Structure formats: structure tokens, C-alpha cells
Structure 1
Amino acid sequence: MSTATTIVLIVVVLLVLAAIVVGVQAARRRRLRQTFGPEYDRVVADTGSRTEAEKELLERTKRHAQLELKPLSAESRARYSAAWEEVQIRFVDDPKDAVSTADELVTRLIAERGYPTGDYDERLADLSVEHAATLEHYRSAHDISRRSRDGQAETEDLRQALVHYRALFADLLGEDPVAHTTPAPRPAAEDTTRPDTTTEPSR
């Protein structure tokens, strides 16, 4: 075999290997985008590197696979739905306390599903693998809840927080927490503080 032929063969092999590598990377990227949705772009923006972002997301996937996640029983789902209805009723008289209770209820549900709840950032990372579609709702709700504790949230902010919490709550619960309850009458004109539960939050 001549030197020229050998060189051509080497070049062809290298091109084939490069095409395989590119194909594998493209498939992995598609898979990560499908899994994490908008969270993919957020992590890319935070890290400033697509390679580092994908490395982090793969680590999240590996860590998530080690969790012992548990489905909720019908009794647990009913209990959580009833607890959520109580939170919404409480909002009319005490919006700040209702949002605080919603935060505790969501955290309790996260724990019962089998997710660690110690560190907030790690909690977000673990949830992002299966609940990426509602993760921004959780971030927004958590931020408003924090501002509420500092006395920097208005009633409308608190109403939005409850809507955001409900999005993740429903996602974790596997159903709308108020879907099986009788809708309460719309408050009188002078009382507009109760969150509207008839509209599904955008995801």
C-alpha cells in the first residue's frame, strides 16, 4: 500500500470518527434539552459554557438516578389537596401567612416524594430532572416568600406566589390540587385578595 493511500485511509477514518463524536454530542444535547427544557438555557447562561452546562446537567441526572423517589398514595394526594384548599381559604384573611404555609406544604411534599430538602440550590437541581417545566414557578414563589419575610411583598405579589407554588405543587402531586373540590364562590367586589384558582398557571 502506497504512502498516499495510507494517508487517505487515515484521513477517512479520522473523518468517520469525528462524525461519530459529533453525532453522539448532538444526540446528548437533544436529550438534555428535552429533559431540562428552559433549565438547559438557564444553566448555559449561568456557566457561560455549553460544555460546562451539559456536564452539570449530566451530573444532576446521575444524582437524580440515585434518589429513592416514591409515588404518593391516593390518601396522601387527597390529604395534600385538602391542605392546599385550606391555604387558599386562609389567603383571604392572612396572605402572608398563607404563602408561608404554602412554602412549608410544598417542602413537605417534596420530602415525601423522596427528594432531599436541605439545601435550596441542591433541591432545585434535583427537581430539575423531572420537574423542569415548573421550576421557574418555584424560583419565583421562593423569591416572593423571601421578600415577604422581609416585609417587601405586596398582596398582589403574594397572590402570584401562591399561583407559582401551586404549579410545582400540582406537578409533584400529579394532579391539580383543587380539581376535586367544589370551587368557592367568587369573593365580593371589595374582597379581591383570594387567588383565582380556576386558571391553570402557565408552565
Structure 2
Amino acid sequence: MSEPGLDLHEWQSQWESVAADMDGDPDAALSQLADIVERMLVSRGYKVNDPVERVGDEPEVVVTYLAARETTERAELGNASRGDVETAIEDLRTLFETITAERP
């Protein structure tokens, strides 16, 4: 297991790298941001693929992530509007900020 502080630094570096390219290809950025947030959630003990987790202590975290992931999948198929992609990116940004503020 790695040090939580190292994970945090790695996630922040990855996020900043993807965010720098967001204007050029928001659909690709959305997919990468969703991957980063998923790794963060899993490392914090969230079971993102467990339906029971959606009704646990913080169901809004998992539900928000899953909604963004669904938009990611639609964007990859060319079926998501620009507004949907922007909303999903903002939701992921909020989750990212919440998780990084929690600290280990």
C-alpha cells in the first residue's frame, strides 16, 4: 500500500495534466477524469460497483460518480451533448475537491 500523501500528490498531478488539455478534447478529458476519480474513490474504500453503496453513509458520492461515468460512456459513443459533458466534468471536479480535502 502506498502512502496517502503520495497518492494525493499523484492524483493532483494527473488531474492538472488532464485539465490542461480539457479545452481541446473535453470528451477524452472526461473519460480520464472519471478514471482518476474512480481510483480515488476505490482507494478511499468506496465500492463504486456495489449497488448497496448507493444507499450507504454517503450515497451522493457514488451516485454522482456513476452519473458522470454514464455520461462518459455516452460521450465515447458520441451521444452526449456538450452541456452533459461539461456538467459531468464539474461533478467530477467537485468530487475530486471533496476527496482531496478529506485527507487520509
Shared fold, TM over 0.5: yes
> May I ask how many residue pairs the two structures share in their alignment?
101
Aligned CA RMSD, in angstroms, stands at 2.5
Matches of 2:40 and 2:75 in 1, distance apart? Answer: 22
Contact between 2:46 and 2:62, CA under 8 Å: does it hold in 1?
Answer: no
Unaligned runs of 5+ in 1: 1-69, 176-203
Q: Give yes or no for the alignment of 1:151 onto 2:78.
A: yes
- Give the SS at the match of 2:78: coil
**Bigger RCO (CA 8 Å, 6+ sep):** 2
Deviations 1:172-195 (A, max 9, x none): 3335xxxxxxxxxxxxxxxxxxxx
Match for residue 86 of structure 1 among 5, 17, 23: 17
What is residue 166 of structure 1 aligned with on the other side? 93
Matches of 2:67 and 2:34 in 1, distance apart? Answer: 12
Matches of 2:69 and 2:90 in 1, distance apart? Answer: 12
Contact between 1:128 and 1:135, CA under 8 Å: does it hold in 2?
Answer: no
Matches of 1:105 and 1:152 in 2, distance apart? Answer: 22
The 5 A counterparts of 1:48-87 are 73-87=4-18
Contact between 1:134 and 1:171, CA under 8 Å: does it hold in 2?
Answer: no
Instruction: Give the drift of 1:134.
Output: 3.1
Distance 1:81 1:164, change over 3 A: same
Distance 1:108 1:92, change over 3 A: same
Matches of 1:128 and 1:167 in 2, distance apart? Answer: 20
The one-letter code matched in structure 1 to 2:23 is V
Q: Give yes or no for the alignment of 1:113 onto 2:40.
A: no
The 5 A counterparts of 1:173-188 are 173-175=100-102
- Give the SS at the match of 2:21: helix
Please, what TM-score do these two structures have when normalized by structure 2? 0.74
Please, what TM-score do these two structures have when normalized by structure 1? 0.42
